Structure 1
């Protein structure tokens, strides 16, 4: 491969295949450093797994997604104020058959937290373990760490159901490092939604990137001799190419023979004239339920509903969860009768989050990015895109 050729051409032709958050982040950081990239995507819109549908005046995001206000990679691209963020109440409501518990984050709600149910769930040793968590590192899985660090009630009622919903993993097999990072972010930050839905994040990054050349319905077939061949017969030459694609697609393109596993999710959107929840996440810890959590999104952002009805998001880690079961459980938990509600949309996401991290080195002038390189999160996707852009930028400077 003639690297002098690339340097003399100053990489005039940089191609990004894939327009999820990692691809958009890469395009933004390239543009910021004077490199214009062209984007090619197999779908008909930007954003990859992040999109929002308008269903009868309701904003339905692709799965229950939230945006933390202390994601550093988001801050490198956007001002959170531009997203018109609306925030959940920091804490949780916990449903059991016998009673409801209410927790408030003492950092944001110091007075309310004193009156909440912390002492019914957490022991004194739990408080010590929470503080220790901020300062230690280990090689346990999250489940092992919970078992060795917290009381049974703290695990059963809060830690396990909450982080099962975060990681979409009922077995909590992810490593402690990722748990610790998100634990700190949830403890010291706020979870929220852009006023008009999660797709606003994609729109804002696109606008900030000032991307001029975007091509849709372009599914990559193969790459050979600095040319990308697409399934519609088109071919595009490049100096550098960034494959911002799912790891399973990379696996097939390059015959890597990787074993790839995903965590799954089902999200059901229910409308109702009844408003029975506030702005807090409602956790359902009992394993007999398919539902992991319920949240009233229209209470967080009124723009999620334009018809004065409430929009509920119901999340399950079982992508095969039957809608009849979900509706029955929703009725029991919320006391909203079936005649007072309607299921308007459901998303069954078999490949929601990667279970593992994959390290794949660039191949000459072919680069890779995606959340599968760093961590399965918005921050991880954006960071992967930025670091890939920096590699190209540094090559130009070399």
Structure 2
């Protein structure tokens, strides 16, 4: 009920603490923390355990309570494609490297210079820092693996949570149960993921973990793709603001999940805030 009424369980940012500390303070058992809260929240925040911000965790839970999660039927690429569809083709230039941004000018790698009354730098934090001459912030990485199977391990459309003690997988989703078009006809698409500090996806360890959960059928699953998303999210430590103050730069605005909360949703929220600021300041 408290999460329904407010964005977090904390009236003030200074009251923030680690997610693990909050759960213990609220009286959750160690079993529920290990089997539910740790895999759920560490999988979303990409933390090794529950050291992430409790304020952010409560915002995440509030979003999950207030509305169901969803994926585009045509894949995640549909999100930028939909936004681009409202713009004239001449407004978008792809494959162009940007060397720097200063005041109202954008400097391209091949020597061209563009000018505008307002410039929006909408990139991940590392690139934004390079373009603006700032220091990059710490990030967290994610590993993932996609499997193709002749049949799904079950008919569930829910996210399957797996405890840290079981192996590297924090969560599993049978995506073809949610969107059949995600897999070839007669096949199933299964995705597993988790936080990592490594350079390679722990596919073998993940397969052993999955065998312990779903049995020998896992041996027939074919690895479609596996990899690491380095710097998948900026670190959001306890005490971090949910929305950073607008930085004062002449003609330049910055958007991205590093300006709000680390997620696709945070990036979209930041984009809206930045667009409104650009229009109001125009």
TM-score for both structures, normalised by structure 1: 0.61
Q: How does 1:55-204 map to 2 (within 5 A)?
A: 131=1, 134=4, 136-137=9-10, 138-149=15-26, 150-204=28-82
CA positional deviation for 1:339: 4.7
Residue 219 (1) aligns with residue 105 (2): no
Q: What is the count of residue pairs matched by the alignment?
A: 265
CA distance in 2: counterparts of 1:306 and 1:285, whole angstroms: 30
CA distance in 1: counterparts of 2:101 and 2:160, whole angstroms: 47
CA distance in 1: counterparts of 2:180 and 2:39, whole angstroms: 27
Report the 3-state secondary structure (helix = DSSP H, G, I; strand = E; otherwise coil) of the residue aligned with 1:201.
Answer: helix
Cα separation, partners in 2 of 1:339 and 1:374, compared to 1, 3 Å? closer
Conserved 8 A contact 1:268-1:345: yes
Conserved 8 A contact 2:138-2:234: yes
Report the 3-state secondary structure (helix = DSSP H, G, I; strand = E; otherwise coil) of the residue aligned with 1:291.
Answer: coil
Q: Which sections of structure 1, spanning at least 5 residues, go unmatched?
A: 1-130
Conserved 8 A contact 1:330-1:336: no
Question: Partner of 2:253 in structure 1?
Answer: 367
Q: Which sections of structure 2, spanning at least 5 residues, go unmatched?
A: none
Question: Partner of 1:233 in structure 2?
Answer: 111
CA distance in 2: counterparts of 1:390 and 1:211, whole angstroms: 23
Question: Partner of 1:263 in structure 2?
Answer: 140
1:330 to 210, 216, 232: 210
Q: How does 1:290-301 map to 2 (within 5 A)?
A: 290-301=168-179
2:192 to 284, 289, 314: 314
CA positional deviation for 1:222: 1.8
Cα separation, partners in 2 of 1:224 and 1:290, compared to 1, 3 Å? closer
Question: Partner of 1:388 in structure 2?
Answer: 274
Question: Partner of 1:272 in structure 2?
Answer: 149
CA distance in 1: counterparts of 2:246 and 2:173, whole angstroms: 38
* RMSD over aligned Cα atoms: 2.2
Which of structures 1 and 2 has the bigger CA Rg? 1
CA distance in 2: counterparts of 1:298 and 1:367, whole angstroms: 39
CA positional deviation for 1:262: 1.2
Tell me the alpha carbon deviations over residues 241-282 of structure 1, each in whole angstroms, 9 at most, x when there is no partner.
111122222323333335x11121111000111321221211
TM-score for both structures, normalised by structure 2: 0.85
